[in-house]
Structure formats: C-alpha cells, structure tokens
Chain A
C-alpha cells in the first residue's frame, strides 16, 4: 500500500515542496526513511510509533519505507512526522485514500500524539501554495501564521486523534486563533520595562536630525564620539521613530524570523526589526552561514529594519569587511557544497564608535599615534564610505533643553516616508538612500538655484561623484522631513555637514 502526501522543507529561508511517500508491504517489520533526511528525520520512527499508539491508532507490523522526494534535496527538521503518520494511517487503510489527495501536511509529533509547532511555517506554506497545494494541515500553534498566506485553506491540528476524526468528517476543525496583536515594545526587547523616548536625550540637534533622516530615508548612520555622550542612547531610541512596515515587508520579516525560530513568532511583525549584535559576534553570526544548514545571520534578521553595531571599532576587521557586500547588494550569498543560498539583507546600518582606543578623541586624546592608526585601520575606507551620515557626538552642554519627543519626530518621519513612497512608487527602490546615481537626475532633481548655491558653497571642497551623490540623496530626505518638494541650498549644506570627513583616528 502506498500513500503520497505533500510537505515542505526549509532551504535557507525559503521553503521547498517535498513529497512524502509512505509504503507499507509484507516482510519483516522494519522502518526506513530514505531521501536525505537529517538526524531528526531518522529519529522519526520512535515519535511516529509512540504517537500512533498513544492515540490508539494502528501501527502496521509490516515493512515500512518512507521516501522524501526529491531524493537529491537535503531535508531538515522533524516537520515530516505528521505527514508520515497520516500516510501510515492511509496505507494501513485506517483512513480513506481520497482525503489525502494533494493535501499538504506540516508538523512534528509528540509521544502523546500531540502536534507540535515547526519553524518557518510561513515559508513552508507559501512553498506548498506555489506548488499548487490548496489545503494544508498545520500545527494549531502555527495556524495563525500560516493563515497569512492567501489562497490556501488552513486546517489546524491539535492532536493526531482529533486530526483523524476531522479528516473523517466526524468532528469539526478547530478554529484558527486570531493573530495576537503586535507586542507593544518597540525596542529590541532588551530593556523594554521603561519605554524608550527620544525626549530622554538632551541636546544633540544634529545627531537627532541624522537619526530622523536615517529612519526616513534608509541612510546608513555612523556616530563617533567619546563614551557617555549619548550616541548609544540615541541609537537605541531609533525604533521609536521608525515607520511601520508595509504588509509585504511585514510578511517577509515574519517569514525570516519564523525560520530563524525566534520572535516575533506567531504574529505578524509590524515594526521593523532592530538587531543589536554584540561586538564579539563572528562573521557567520553576522552575515549568516554555519555548518550544516546555513542559517540566516544578523544582517538577514535585520532585513527591512536596523542593524545596530555598537562599538564598531571593536568588531573584528574581517567581520566588518564581510558587511560590505550585503550593504551594496542587499543580499547575502552563501555557497555550500552543491548549493548557493541567497538571504535577503536590506538593512540600515547604524553604528557607534569611539574615535580612538581611549575614547576621548580630538583634543583630549591620550592615545599615541600607533594606537590610533591601528584602531583606525579596523574601519576600512570602503566601509566608512558606505555611511551617508557620519557625525561626531560630543557631550551636550548642561543647559541644553530636553530633546523633542519620539512621537513628534515620528510624525515627521511618517510624512517623509509617505513622500518617499509616492516618489519611488513603481521602482524597485524602497528608500531615497537606494536611488542609484544614474537615476538621481530624474528622482532628485536640483533647481538651478540650489545647484548653483551648492557649487558656490562647496567651492574648493572636493567632492567625488560618489560623495556628492550621497549628499544629494540625504538632502532629498531632509527636504522630505520638512515636507517640501524643493531641495534648497540649506538642505545640501546640511547634508554635507552631516557627512563629516571622519577618519576614525
């Protein structure tokens, strides 16, 4: 007896459809899984057997062969177990053959017959939909997430026994729980007890403007200054002014985080991710990789959001240089024997660093020349060049007024984002920062007066083509933040000042 079901496995952050074929024949009782399963796939025998027996369902005392097709694709995880169990019921004639025709099944089994959640359901269900499957059984815990995929009927499963009854039409399917509201904390969750607000930071008007420009226009931001000046405080409050994700972006973010197996799980991400890896992070942790199944790195988890690197100068230089390619292409390609995975990685890089090892910088620095140049070499010129916004942060003076609240800045950012979306509608670029130099004339035109003023102002200051393109993009964002169409000379001058010629040390 043969039963065929549809399932899916994760390759990188994408799902690939897999056919689960269960064959039961006469012979000595045995259980074999073929088709490149990993260790958890091979262990499935014990879980499937115990789950069937605990659910008072028959376990065929015959020769059982499970094939996961296509045979050349390496499968990961225990997500096929539910499909195998249903396949055994069909092959053992405990269920009619007709119910499983073109049925997608995802889920892991517990020894008591319960159906447990699997990572990456959004990606897996989406892969099944693209393969033409219209009905998918998923664990109840994943049902809300799976229901985010359009055009697919989701059948939630709580236990194996209940599932059999539902398939037979003896019971109703459990209701799909509603999506829980997005979690209220907008920070990175590290210290979400006290809500963060930009009003906590005194002074620093330029740095605030740069932060708003970064949030609105997607410009990479580097803050350089001695310890205790508020640069980290400021950067940590960036999530409080970020615009909400579009539905498309939210689906993509949810999908990535679901594959990675951490928050936000079983809810649709509404806020852009804010990832803050520690400076001891390895290259694989940052850009993705690892042995066996390559997993997405921090740059991918920060897709559509912010990658915040505090103490940039303390990261290993090779790790930082690995960021250059994703910064440029918005994608990380990881090659392994027999496959190349592409992880999306379109993030905004926000970094803080001390100006030198002693941290005091400028006048008060006590580092010697050699120490400073060693430190400076960690941040390669090509990496520094990627930052549209680079500025020094010095301690604010005591009599400075408390800063503008996040809510106010966020309003400004939302206005800018709306203008930006309208401008870039129909292009593949999401932010001002991503408009290629060739398209600047069309999307960021300069009035003759502004261009002339800028030439006059910049005077002897030499600007490479690349540098001036960056200044132009930032000026566009600054005008957007001010809800203006026209880019003025002031916008251009401010963009120039916001891109200080910081050579760390």
Chain B
C-alpha cells in the first residue's frame, strides 16, 4: 500500500471511539483507506453504519480527520517507523474475513519478517502471574514449535506471553506479537527490548492507532486477534478469570483447536487451564501434540537435542527427587517427605541442582 494509504489507515485506526465494527463498515463502503478518510473528513459517512454512529461522534471524527497537521505528523511517524498497514480486503491478509466475522479491518504492522505470517501459526498465551514451571513450559513449547517452522503468536505481556516470545527468539524462530495499544506505545515498558527483538525476528501487529494508551477494555478485544491469527491456541497457565481464557474462548468460537496444559488443582495458575479442558480443550500432554494437530511430522526439522542429564543414581538424591512429587517444595517439606535429615537433603539438593534435576528459585526448590 502507498505511504498515503498507510497514513490514512493510521489516522482511521486512531479516530476517537472507532471500533473494529465501525471501521469494517467504513472500509466496506470505501475499500481504500484514503477514500475512507476523505469521506470521514467530508462528514459523508452518515448512512453506512448499522447501528448508526451518533452525530456527535461523527463530528469528532470530522474534526480529527480534517486536521491536516495531525495527518502530516502521523505520516511522518509512519515513514520514520516503517509502519505498514494490512487490509482485510487484501488477499494476503493473515485472517480470513469469511471465517472470522469480527476480524480487524486494518492491522498496522511493524517488523522485519513479514514471512512470519506465511508459516503455520500457533498462539501461546497465559497468565501474567506465571509460575517458574509455566514459564519453562511456554519457553520449551515455543522452541519446539519454531524448530518445525511454526510462527509463535502471543501478546507481548508479562509472564507466559513473554516466555513464549523469548523461547521462539532464543531458538532462532519467528514470532508475532499482537498488542492492544498503539504500536509506538510499547506497553509494558519493561518489555521494550523484547519489542525490539520481536520486530527484528518477526512482527508486531495491532489494530489501534499511534499513541493509544493501554486501557483494560482493549485487551480482551485484542485477544480475539491472537485467536484469529493462530491455527491453534495453546493456553499454558491461566487463572480462572484471566485474559488467556478469553483468547481460548474466542478460538473455540472461531472453531479453532485449543490446547491447555493440565495442572494441579492446588495451583491457582492452572485453574483456568483445567476448566478449559473440562469445557472441551485438548489437554496438552506433550509438545508434539500441537505439531501433530497442525499436520507436521514432529522431529523432521528438529535439531538433535542434547542427551538428557543422567539419572540420579545416588539413593538420597532419588528419594528427594521423588519427594517433590512434581511440585515446588521447601527443604523442610522434602526432609519430612523423604524421611531424611537436613544435611542429607541439602547434599541431595546440591547434587540434583548440579545435574539439572532441580533448581532453587525464590527460596523454593523446583523439580525441572
């Protein structure tokens, strides 16, 4: 699309109180964003919305779109950032508008690897309050997926999202981040370097215009794009009422496969996943399950993984490892369950940590 077209798209996505439904209606009438913007600036849009847009809102749009200085500034931002706009009417649009009724009309995109959208896509999403286990699982799943040429889609949030992106990046794969804010806002701020890495090895996508701040209502709306982009959505850890559950529900609504990692019912971060499984999601027992569902042959392109660390042969270490029962524990708990003394547990823990069977994090010991 021409730079004028991208600028017009960026202005349209930034209109006050614009929604994806309104933008869809607008672009149905004027498929070229330049024409659509022109119509908005002329105030000639009255008839194309159902339900109708209040006249006051349309007046705001008119003022916004007719402000040539703002348009020039947005044009400068677009060319400085190298932003592109993907239209739902383009054949290359990553979401099929026929299948996804509430698809975004325009996706703004920034990044170096547009080929990330050509590959099969899997979304890995989850809670921000993730456990070390959950983060590990997200990273390893992302690494296994990109090894087969799959693109990992997520939301650039703290927790599972970040681990999924990082896992894909570390394994040299492609990854797409879908954001709820303007592309220039980069929320949360501590992820600025992650944003840069995702831009370099993939794309950052969003349907909101420049400068749009994070607002709680925007995140669930964004989540439908993640679900629509991905052929399969995997929920790694989710609380009962989290955004990741919303993504999964969108994916189910679109008829996509949803996988969820089962967890202990004592773990609040696994509650959402277990409920999803009850409600029809596939339990993810092995990472290859996702690849098989995609129709890939797992392992065909995977690099050989290093041989697993040797099993603990030492008797105390094996008893302590068994005493974890897969859950984090304190040395006190391990001593009690394994019926060993504090010294023996300590020695066993050091041995296990050295061989990669357990590690200490935040004061607790975790089996790996």
Contact = CB atoms under 8 A, between A and B. Distances in A.
Interface of A: 203-207, 209, 224, 355, 361-369, 390-394, 396-397, 400, 456-461, 489-491, 493-494, 496-498, 500-503
Contact of A393 (B330, B349, B351): B330
B295 interface: no
A306 to B, nearest CB: 22
B346 A391 contact: no
Contact of A457 (B268, B341, B347): B347
Nearest to A364: B268
Nearest to A365: B129
Contacts of B350: 457-458, 461, 493, 496-497
B328 interface: yes
A489 B351 CA distance: 11
A372 to B, nearest CB: 9
A-B interface, 3 closest residue pairs, ranked by CB to CB distance from nearest: A392-B363, A459-B354, A494-B346
B270 to A, nearest CB: 9
Interface residues of B, number: 36
B360 interface: yes
Contacts of A500: 360, 363-364
Contacts of B331: 206, 391, 497
A452 to B, nearest CB: 14
Interface stretch (B61-69, B248-256, B275-283, B332-340): B332-340
A392 B364 contact: yes
Interface of B: 128-129, 131, 158-159, 266-269, 327-333, 335-337, 341-347, 349-351, 353-354, 360-364
A30 B327 CA distance: 84
B337 to A, nearest CB: 8
Counting chain A CB atoms within 10 Å of each CB, the highest count among B131, B268, B330, B335 belongs to B330
Nearest to B355: A459
A400 B333 CA distance: 10
B336 A397 contact: yes
Nearest to A505: B362
Contacts of A501: 360-363
A490 B349 contact: no
A456 B341 CA distance: 21
Contact of A206 (B330, B337, B353): B330
A78 B268 CA distance: 64
Nearest to B347: A493
Contacts of B328: 362-363
A84 to B, nearest CB: 61
Contacts of B354: 456-461
A497 B129 contact: no
Residue from B268, B269, B331 whose CB has the most chain A CB atoms within 10 Å: B331
Nearest to A488: B343
Contacts of A362: 131, 328, 362-364
A396 B337 CA distance: 11
A175 to B, nearest CB: 54
A402 B316 CA distance: 24
Nearest to A401: B336
Nearest to B340: A205
B347 A209 contact: no
Contacts of A489: 347
A501 B267 CA distance: 22
A293 to B, nearest CB: 43
A461 B363 CA distance: 15
Nearest to A501: B360
A206 B347 contact: no
Contact of A205 (B158, B268, B335, B353): B335
Nearest to B270: A363
Nearest to A204: B332
B363 A205 contact: no
Contacts of B364: 362, 392, 500
A206 B342 contact: yes
Contacts of B159: 369
Most chain B C-beta atoms within 10 Å of own C-beta, residue among A204, A458, A460, A494:
A494
B268 A363 contact: yes
A237 B269 CA distance: 36
B129 A397 contact: no
A493 B347 CA distance: 5
Contact of A390 (B268, B327, B363): B363
A203 B336 contact: yes
B343 A394 contact: no
A400 B363 contact: no
Contacts of A206: 330-332, 335, 342, 345
A363 B331 CA distance: 16
B363 A490 contact: no
23 contacts: A205-B335, A206-B332, A206-B335, A206-B342, A206-B345, A362-B362, A362-B363, A362-B364, A393-B330, A394-B330, A397-B337, A400-B336, A457-B354, A459-B353, A490-B344, A490-B347, A493-B346, A493-B347, A494-B342, A497-B349, A497-B360, A500-B360, A503-B362
Contact of A493 (B267, B332, B349): B349
A484 to B, nearest CB: 12
A458 B360 CA distance: 12
A372 B351 CA distance: 31
Highest count of chain A CB atoms <10 Å: which of B336, B347, B350? B350
A396 B329 CA distance: 11
Q: Which of B327, B332, B345, B351 has the most CB of A within 10 A?
A: B332
B273 to A, nearest CB: 14
B348 to A, nearest CB: 8
Given A363-B268, A391-B330, A461-B354, A502 B363 contact: yes
Contacts of A458: 350, 354
Nearest to B331: A206
B363 A355 contact: yes
Contacts of B343: 490-491, 493-494
Contacts of A490: 343-344, 346-347
A305 B346 CA distance: 29
Contacts of B268: 363-364, 366
A37 to B, nearest CB: 55
Contacts of A494: 342-343, 346-347
B332 A393 contact: yes
Contacts of B128: 368-369
A324 B351 CA distance: 34
Given A206-B330, A396-B336, A494-B342, A391 B351 contact: no
A375 to B, nearest CB: 13
B353 A461 contact: yes
Contacts of A459: 353-354
A502 B353 CA distance: 16
Nearest to B356: A460
Contacts of B329: 394
Q: Which of A363, A369, A394: most chain B Cβ within 10 A?
A: A363
A108 to B, nearest CB: 53
Contacts of A460: 354
Contacts of A502: 362-363
A363 B266 contact: yes
A397 B323 CA distance: 13
